[in-house]
Structure formats: structure tokens, C-alpha cells
Structure 1
Amino acid sequence: MSIPKSGLRRKLKNSFKDWILDSTSHGFPKIFKTERLSLKVMWTIGLCISIGFCSYLIARSIMNYVQFGVTTTIRYKTEIPMDLPAVSICQNLMFSTQKSAEFKENVWRKNGIEDIFNSTFLSTFFASNYQESMNLIITEYFSRLNALNYNLNSEIKKTFGFNLEEIMISCFIGTLECKKDDFIWYFDQFYGNCYLFNTGKFENGTVKEKYTQSDLGYFGGIRFEFLNKIKPVENYTISKGFHLTIFDSNSTANSQKGLDISPKVLTNIMLKKRKITQLPDPYSECLIDHSSFQSSEVYQSTLKKSETYSQDICYDICFQEYLISKCNCSDPNKPFFKNVKNCLTIEEIFCVFIAYTEFMAKLDVKVTCSKHCPLECETVQYDYTSSFSEYPTNIQARGILNYLSRRNISNNYSLDEIINNSLQVNIYHAQLKLETIEESKQMELVDLISNIGGILGLFIGISILSFAELIEICLEILFVIFETKNKAKIINVESKINQIKV
């Protein structure tokens, strides 16, 4: 005896109707419960509109979630004492001694340059409508490349520029005098002889205590006083003054981000320290986990340049790798990467120009270097504002002259020369507060679930328990089918028994 299909359909229909009428959702029970057609139509239209709005808002919530938006929070945290920044001190030119002038002239002669402004070599290979300016740029570039030659030892390079003891008149942190071992010499790619101050390290790399600021105003910060005298090579210089770079002591000085300080001026540099923390991918392009880059030579070379990883340095080394592959030589302007010769000949320098143009203009640097150079998620920056006043006064100039005479390094400077070449710099925090900029997720997964739940509850009246009703109706259907089959089997057995008895 087979199961009557009409009976099964009737039971399923009744079970479904009972489930709808008992449902906690809105709309559906009303449609099945009311006997009036007009009310059925009204509830059906209302339910369709509600489902439409509900679907739209749920889709919008999901789209907002997968956009991985962030909320940026800015806070100010008082820090007393507050670490003073590291400072790179350079003169505004690489060559400022008689030996450096001789070195430059030797480089020019090797390249067929006897007179800077009347050079056939320069006007032929580097023709320009502004030939005089171009000649100064090219000769300075040639000289700088040769000075950066990896084969030149540090002692030779030190003779090209200033000695800190000769040009520094005074150095104070508050009322505390600076020490000689506070300064570390290094040779910068653009400015030559430079000195690092307040890096938290001695020259041998061991850790030392950093200077801090506890009082507001420039009396609590760093004060440098310099005498910018470059008399032996003044005829070969383009500009005069000093170049300071202010940076976090855990990073590396980038002189291209520094500022020029002019003679005859007192410069106040008021700092604001900022710490930026970004959320990693997919919320930004930065990465916390750099394990996938460990096999990259470019990445490993970057880590050797600084205590903390820097994408800017990594990009420079990435270009260096590209240049070596194209020209079989390296650019001494960029960080050292591999033990290959410098690009110093005319042919090699032209190759550098072509490779640089291709790398920057034709290639997508971001894509080319992405396999080597992830973006860091945390950075420390120093914003600053500057103010200026005339310096020195006559009494200050006389004090400087007396100081130089007492140290027997006056070099017969006149009072006018002191006035025209001395300068003072004050570097201090404008406020003893750290500005922190932190990103947080605009929408967590729990927020998405809450939004969807709220929308479903508002428009359809569904809660989390309403989904259990779906399980209930599925089980109810199975029970109805199972019970109907069992009942049919029992009837079939009883029918056969009755037939046997007869």
C-alpha cells in the first residue's frame, strides 16, 4: 500500500501553516491568519517593501565591512621628561677645505675641465640654455661622486670638510654642556663631513643615555652656536650655511629631509613629536609580519642600515640593485648594496641617468620593489616650525672673538667676519606632549553581526532565535514524512494479516 500523496501534502501544508502562524517574524503570520483579501494584499505589500529595505541595508553593511575602513584617533600624552631628537649637523657644502679644493680640481682635470665656465667638455656633453648654472651643477656632481667612492678611506674623506671643534663655538642642553663623545662623525652622500648628535650611542655602537627636555622653552632644549668660515674655498662654493636633519634616534638620518640654517641668523626650531600607528593589511598597505621578505637581499641590506626598518631606504637599495643589473656599477649616492665598483666614468654616469629615468618614469617603482620593501606600520615623525632673528649682536660677536682667541683658533678673524659668519640654533619641544595617531577598525565582525541583527529585527522582526524556527520546520517536515511512512507500513502489514486470516 503506497503513501497517499494528497494526504502527505495536506499534512505538510498544515505543519507549514502552523509554523508560519507561530513564527516570531512579522508579516508572514498576518498574511496566513487573516481571511480578508484586502488585508492579505496590504500585509504582502508591506512585507515585500520591508524585505527590500532590509536586503539593501544588509548588503550595504556587508560592503562597508569588506571595505576595511578605519577610524583615526588622535591623542596627546604628556611626557616629562621628553626625549630630545637626534640631530645630524652638516655644512651646506661637501668641500670646505684646501685639500678638498685640490681634490675637486684633480677630478675636473681628469674629465678635461680646466675652466668651469669655459669648458668645451661641459658645453658639449651637457649643453644647456643655462650653461653656467649647469656647469656648476655637473662639476659639483662629478666631485661628489668621486668623494663618495667606496675605495676612499674615512681619514681621506675627513680632510674634505670641517672639523667640528673648529666651527662649534658652544653646545648646551639646557644648562648642561655637551661632551665630545656625544658627536659621531659620518660621511653624508650630499654634504660630506657630518656629525650625529644624541643618537643614544657612542661611536663604537654601545648604548648611552639620551638627552631629554623637562622644561618648556628653548632653555630646556638643545642650543648650538657655530662659526661658518670657509675662507680657503669660498670661490668654489654655491651656498653657505649649515644643514640640520632632525630625526628619531632609532632611525637613520636622511639629509634630504633636513633644513638649511643661514649665517647671521638665530634660528629657533620648535618641535612636535608624532607617533603614527597604522593597522596592517587589509586595512592599509603596511605589514607587521615581514617573514616573507627575509630571503630578499634588498630587505636584509635595509635592516643593516638602521635599528628600525625604513621603506625609503629599501627603495634606494632596490634602485641600486636595478642599476647594478643594468650598468654593472653602483651609485655612490645610494646606500651600499653589493661590492661592485662605483659609476664614475662618463659612460657609467650616462648609464646611471638612463637607468634612473627608466626606473622612475617607465617602471612602477611600487610594483618593482614590492617584493623587497614592505611598508612599515609604525613611524615616529618630528614636525617643526621655525622663527628667526638677527644674530649676533656686537656684544655677542666680541664674546665669540674672545673665546676664539682664548683657544688660539681666531685665525685673525675680524669682528665683521665673526658677525657675517656666526649663527645660533635652538632646538626644543614646543610642548611636552606626544601626539599619537592610531588607527582602529571602523567595523568589527561583531559590529557587522549586530547591524544585520538590528536590521532584521527592525524590518521583519527576526531575532537570532528566529533562525532556530527554520531548523524546526525542517525537522517537522522530516517527522511528518517519517511518521506517514511508518503509518503506511503498519497499515500495509495489518492488511496482509487480515488477508491471510480470510
Structure 2
Amino acid sequence: MDEENTNVKAGTTGTDKTNGTSDLPKEDVATHDKKRLKEVLVDIAMSTSVHGIANIVSATKTYTRLLWLILLLLAMVGYVFQLSQIHNTFSTAQKSTTMDIRFGVQDFPGVTFCNLNPIKKSALEETSVAMRHSLTASDTYLRESANPAEYELEPSFLVFLENFKKHGFNAEEWDMGIHLPTDPYYVRDVQIKSEMRKMNRSMIERTGHNIEDILLHCAFNGIICNSSLFTPISSNRYGNCYTLKTEELVTTVPGSPYGLSLILDLETYEYVSPSSSGNGMKLVIHEPGSYPFVEEHGVNVGPGRTSIGLNRIEIQRLTPPDGNCEYNNNYVDRYGMEYSKMACEQICQIGLTEDICGCLPTISSIDPSNIISNSRFCGEDENDFLCEVVVREAQMEGRVYCSCTNPCMENVYTKTISSHSWPRQEYLIHQIIPLICEDTERAQKVINITGYTCDDFVLRDDLPEEAVRPFEDNFVKLEVYFEDVNYEHIEEVDAYDVYQYLSDIGGATGLFVGASVLSLVEVVQIIVEVIKYAVNRLTKQKVVPISQEAGEVSLSPNKCKNTDIDIDRD
């Protein structure tokens, strides 16, 4: 009786109630699990929405099953190839542009002008000997002195070459001679820039043309304005320049009467020859807040009346990762100017020159001392000029890298320029000169230049031609206005967006294998069944069935009572 209880209790304890495999040996249990997994997979294969799989499973002939297997493999190869093509198209981030016409109030652009003559003749003696030489040296002399053979590879120059290598460029293999300027006009400009950089702001203002002297008339939108509407800036080639403050200036009506109107006295009697070989001014129209690159983007405006009609184009580019534009809102805080590609390239050039040559460049439009402090200007060493020229040429050719891209939002102004002779002599005598004489200092200047008083010009009709000759080709009437209040908006858009990407993947999937989004559920189901089978197999290998232990105990009659007692206690 005790033995029976022992056997019953031990058998009950070792019974496996799962899957009905309690009485099966270990090998039979594994076979049963495999058979059950196979049945599940076959059921999924017969009901799947993926084409071809059901034909393979249900085929009764070997050649039929082989045929469908080959067809399925070929379809999968085509599917994978098509997916790779779709992904390559998507990853290239192709862009297209859209253009539409928009209407609204037009913010007036920045307008910067400079006199083509940087230093007044009356203030020439206040400048350095080198500056006077640069302004007055003849073209013939400069042509003869601009000889690349004068530059030789001296030991000190080798340091220059070595410094290039850390930027990935071997300058020793470069022919330096072809990069040295030989044009006398270019050489003069470089010399003027170099000497201008050595002058402080107060000296530039004192020796250059002042806006209080050259601005005779100012009006915007039909309202009189004065010199307070302009901010002075310095150009290392043209000296004093002046930028229109446009924070509150808007245009609601097109046409020249509703734009900016200026009458400027060029003070041609103060021009230094031969550096200033022609009369006029340098003018650049740019985005408000951006740096006016007068030398790079400016146009020459000669004496007379010049009208400039503007049309604005607003360009909006894609931001990363779809595009490669740059916002760089910190430019205003760091450099006091809005970001532009030109500003980025010149700031990069300043950094490269300082790193390679050990000095600040004198040929950049941006004042390098505002970017990097505690460094000297190039020119103290005889190879400085050659070094900064080679740095700029290497940058322009892409041999040294500057990561500069276009801004994400940019305004571009197209210009329609027309001009004619202005003023006629009668208008000059009876209108322009009296306008000059309204100011006491200017009236005295008329006497000093012509020898005649303002009353003589107003009252006398018998003035000789010599009295008017100093004022010939001396005045500019400038009109800047919008030709229309509408503007073009050009926007970059993704030519191949994520929705098209997913759509093409779905089309390829349906074409080659006939699958859909719901087919993913079937894949998940297969993965779950495989995982369950693997877990069950792993569990059964680690756990020893109790029925085997109970069988061994029942064979020992001497321990039946003890076993019965132990089981009852449990």
C-alpha cells in the first residue's frame, strides 16, 4: 500500500501537462515540437499574401516546387535591386525649385556708396609716404616694378610653404610666378589697400570725402532727409563709404518719386591723379544688415543722372539634411553683420592668412582686426604680400577648404540701370550752385575754387566759362526705387520626399512579391513562433523530468516508507 501511494504520488508530480507530451521520451518530445512548428509555418505559408510561397508549399511535384522556388528567388533579386535604386534616389536629396509671385510692402534694401577717390588732394600730406607714392605713382612705374622675378624662395619663405601642409596642400609644387599680379592697376589697388589698413578710423574720416560735404540733397518717398540717415563705414580701397539706414524705410508704391533720391557733390577738384583716373562713385545695393562688399559687388556710377530700378527676388533654400544652406544667426553677435556666403569666405580667408602667414590680410574687404585681434597686418615682412596672395588663390581654387554655403533665406535685387548727361550748364549755375551756397562752409569752398562768390553765380549773367569749369562732371543725381511692389519667391523643395519614397517601395514590393503592409504581421507571426520553439527547446534541455526520478525511487523497496513520508510532507 505504501509502495502504491509512493508510485502514484511520484507519478503525479512528474506529469507534463503541456502539449500532451507527459508520457513521451525526451527525443519524442523534440520531434513533436518540430512537427508542431512545421505545421504552424505551413499554415502561415498557405495563407500568406506574399506571392509564390503557397505554390512552393502546396506543390506535389518536385519540378513544380523547384520552378516556383526559382521564380520567387528571381523576384526577390529584382525586388532588392529596385529597392537599392529607390534608396539611392532618395539619399541623393534631389531638389527642385518652385517660383511664385507675391505681393506686399517692400522693405528698402541697403544702399552703400563711396567716392572713387579715397584721399582728398588737400589732405594728401597728412598720409604716409607710402600712401602718397601709391596714389601718385605713374602707371609706367608700376608696370615696371610689378615683376614676379623679384620674389625668390628665400629661407624665410620656406616657413610659409610648410604651414600650408597642415591644411592638406603642398604649396612647394605650385608655380608661384603665375599667381603674382603684374597688372599695374591691380598692384596700385593692393598698395592702397595695404596703406589704408594702417590708418585709423578718425584719420580716414579726416582725409577722405565727408558726407556733410558731398550730400547736397536727400529725399525718400518724397520726404526730405539728411546725412543722419546714413551710417559711415570704411573701405580699404575707397576710404569713407556711407550706408543707408533702412530699418524703417518701406516702399508701398513703385516708381522713382517713391524711392531714394540723392544729389552728390563728387568734389572732383580734390581728386588725386593718376590713382583716380575717372570721376564717379562706387555703389552697391545689398540686403539690409549685410556687409556691403563694395569692391566685389559694386557698380561704377559716373557724373550725371542715374536711375536704378529694382526688382526683389526672395530665395528660400532647404535646410540640412535635405539641403546644405546655413542660417548662422550668431554672425550678427560675433561679427556685426548678417551671414552671407561672401562674408563667410572672407572671414575664412582672414583665418587662413593669419594661420599660414602669421599676419592679417590687407586685400580683404572686411576689416580683419574685427575678426582676429592681437595680430599684425601683412606687409612688415617682404614675403607677406606673396603669402596672402597665394592663400587667397589657393582658397579660390579649392586647395584649402572653407565650409561656406548659401544662406537659407536670401534677397537678391536685379537692377535696371539708365543714365544721361546731367545737369545742363544753366541748371548748374542757377540751381546746383545756389544749393551748395546754402551752407556757409560750402559757400566759402566755392570762393576758394572758382574765385567767385555765390552772389556772382546767382546775380551775374556774364560769368566766364572758367568759373563753372571746376564743377563740370562733378555731380551725381541718383535715384533708386522699386519698379514693382510684387516680388518673386523662389523656394527649394524636395524633388523626392519621404512620402514618394514609401510609395515607390510599396509599388516595388507589390510588383515583385505581392506583399503589403499587412504582410509584415505574417512576418512577425513567423518570428514569434520560431522564438517560442527555441525557448521551449532550451527549457526542456535544462529541466530533468520528475517522472524519471520517481521511477528510480520506486525501484528501492527499502526507501518506500521514507519516500512516502517525504512526499506526504511536501
TM-score by length of 1: 0.77
Amino acid in structure 2 at the alignment position of 1:308: E
Q: Is the 8 A contact 1:226 1:423 kept in 2?
A: yes
Q: CA deviation at 1:376?
A: 4.2
Give, in whole Å, the separation in 2 of the partners of 1:117 and 1:312: 31
Q: Is the 8 A contact 2:192 2:236 kept in 1?
A: no
Q: Residues 136 and 78 of structure 1: is their aligned pair in 2 closer, same or farther, counting only changes over 3 Å? A: closer
Q: Is the 8 A contact 1:303 1:309 kept in 2?
A: no
The reply on whether 1:438 has 2:491 as its aligned counterpart is yes
Amino acid in structure 2 at the alignment position of 1:220: Y
**Stretch deviating more after TM superposition (41-50 or 244-253):** 41-50
Give, in whole Å, the separation in 1 of the partners of 2:32 and 2:239: 98
Alignment of 1:272-287 (within 5 A): 272-287=311-326
Give, in whole Å, the separation in 2 of the partners of 1:478 and 1:221: 77
Q: Give the structure 1 partner of residue 191 of structure 2.
A: 142
Give, in whole Å, the separation in 2 of the partners of 1:253 and 1:267: 20
Q: Is the 8 A contact 1:400 1:418 kept in 2?
A: no
Find 2:415's aligned residue among 365, 373, 384. Answer: 384
Q: CA deviation at 1:182?
A: 0.5
Q: Is the 8 A contact 2:107 2:249 kept in 1?
A: yes
Give, in whole Å, the separation in 1 of the partners of 2:137 and 2:291: 38
Q: Give the structure 2 partner of residue 22 of structure 1.
A: 47
Q: CA deviation at 1:442?
A: 4.1
Q: CA deviation at 1:270?
A: 1.9
Give, in whole Å, the separation in 1 of the partners of 2:209 and 2:68: 89
Find 1:309's aligned residue among 312, 326, 339. Answer: 339
TM-superposition CA deviations, 1:292-334 (whole Å, max 9, x none): xx9xxxx8xx854324234533433433344344555433444
**Stretch deviating more after TM superposition (84-93 or 410-419):** 410-419
The reply on whether 1:51 has 2:76 as its aligned counterpart is yes
Q: Give the structure 1 partner of residue 294 of structure 2.
A: 255
TM-superposition CA deviations, 1:151-171 (whole Å, max 9, x none): x351x2223322323333322
**Stretch deviating more after TM superposition (161-170 or 239-248):** 161-170
Give, in whole Å, the separation in 1 of the partners of 2:250 and 2:103: 14
Amino acid in structure 2 at the alignment position of 1:361: A
TM-superposition CA deviations, 1:194-218 (whole Å, max 9, x none): 1111243xxxxxxxxx221111112
Q: Give the structure 1 partner of residue 129 of structure 2.
A: 106
Q: Give the structure 2 partner of residue 320 of structure 1.
A: 350
Amino acid in structure 1 at the alignment position of 2:81: Y
Q: Is the 8 A contact 1:228 1:421 kept in 2?
A: yes
The reply on whether 1:195 has 2:212 as its aligned counterpart is no
Q: CA deviation at 1:22?
A: 0.9
Q: Is the 8 A contact 2:328 2:339 kept in 1?
A: no
Q: CA deviation at 1:261?
A: 0.4
Alignment of 1:48-447 (within 5 A): 48-80=73-105, 82-100=106-124, 102-103=125-126, 106-107=129-130, 116=138, 123=144, 126=147, 137-139=186-188, 141-150=190-199, 152-154=200-202, 156-200=203-247, 210-233=248-271, 235-236=273-274, 237-256=276-295, 257-264=297-304, 266-288=305-327, 303-334=333-364, 335=367, 336=369, 337-345=372-380, 347-348=381-382, 350-361=383-394, 368-370=401-403, 376-393=407-424, 396-398=427-429, 399-405=431-437, 407=439, 408=443, 410=446, 411-412=449-450, 414=467, 418=471, 420-445=473-498, 447=500
Classify the secondary structure of the residue corresponding to 1:159: helix
Q: CA deviation at 1:98?
A: 1.9
Name stretches of at least 5 consecutive residues in structure 2 with no aligned partner: 1-24, 150-181, 451-465, 556-570
Q: Is the 8 A contact 2:146 2:187 kept in 1?
A: no
Classify the secondary structure of the residue corresponding to 2:240: strand
Q: Give the structure 2 partner of residue 459 of structure 1.
A: 512
Q: Residues 330 and 97 of structure 1: is their aligned pair in 2 closer, same or farther, counting only changes over 3 Å? A: same
Q: CA deviation at 1:240?
A: 1.8
Q: Is the 8 A contact 1:83 1:213 kept in 2?
A: yes
Amino acid in structure 2 at the alignment position of 1:354: C
Give, in whole Å, the separation in 1 of the partners of 2:494 and 2:338: 25
Q: Is the 8 A contact 1:149 1:332 kept in 2?
A: no
Q: CA deviation at 1:18?
A: 2.0
Classify the secondary structure of the residue corresponding to 2:516: coil
Classify the secondary structure of the residue corresponding to 2:271: helix
Q: CA deviation at 1:428?
A: 1.3
Q: Is the 8 A contact 1:108 1:139 kept in 2?
A: no
The reply on whether 1:472 has 2:525 as its aligned counterpart is yes
TM-score by length of 2: 0.69
Amino acid in structure 1 at the alignment position of 2:116: N
Give, in whole Å, the separation in 2 of the partners of 1:99 and 1:83: 38
Aligned alpha-carbon RMSD (Å): 4.1
Name stretches of at least 5 consecutive residues in structure 1 with no aligned partner: 201-209
Q: Residues 90 and 287 of structure 1: is their aligned pair in 2 closer, same or farther, counting only changes over 3 Å? A: closer
Q: Is the 8 A contact 2:49 2:519 kept in 1?
A: yes
Q: Residues 288 and 175 of structure 1: is their aligned pair in 2 closer, same or farther, counting only changes over 3 Å? A: closer
Identity, in percent, stands at 19
Q: CA deviation at 1:122?
A: 7.6
Give, in whole Å, the separation in 2 of the partners of 1:259 and 1:406: 31
Q: Give the structure 2 partner of residue 207 of structure 1.
A: none
TM-superposition CA deviations, 1:48-74 (whole Å, max 9, x none): 454343222222222222223334333
Amino acid in structure 2 at the alignment position of 1:259: V
Give, in whole Å, the separation in 2 of the partners of 1:381 and 1:362: 25
TM-superposition CA deviations, 1:444-488 (whole Å, max 9, x none): 5454334323322343221222121123234445667859x99xx
When Rg is computed on C-alpha atoms for both structures, the one with the higher figure is: 2
Classify the secondary structure of the residue corresponding to 1:238: coil
Q: CA deviation at 1:490?
A: 9.6
Give, in whole Å, the separation in 1 of the partners of 2:107 and 2:37: 77
Amino acid in structure 2 at the alignment position of 1:404: I
Q: Is the 8 A contact 2:395 2:402 kept in 1?
A: no
**Residues paired across the two proteins, number:** 466
Q: Is the 8 A contact 1:188 1:194 kept in 2?
A: yes
Give, in whole Å, the separation in 2 of the partners of 1:324 and 1:263: 40
Give, in whole Å, the separation in 1 of the partners of 2:70 and 2:467: 97
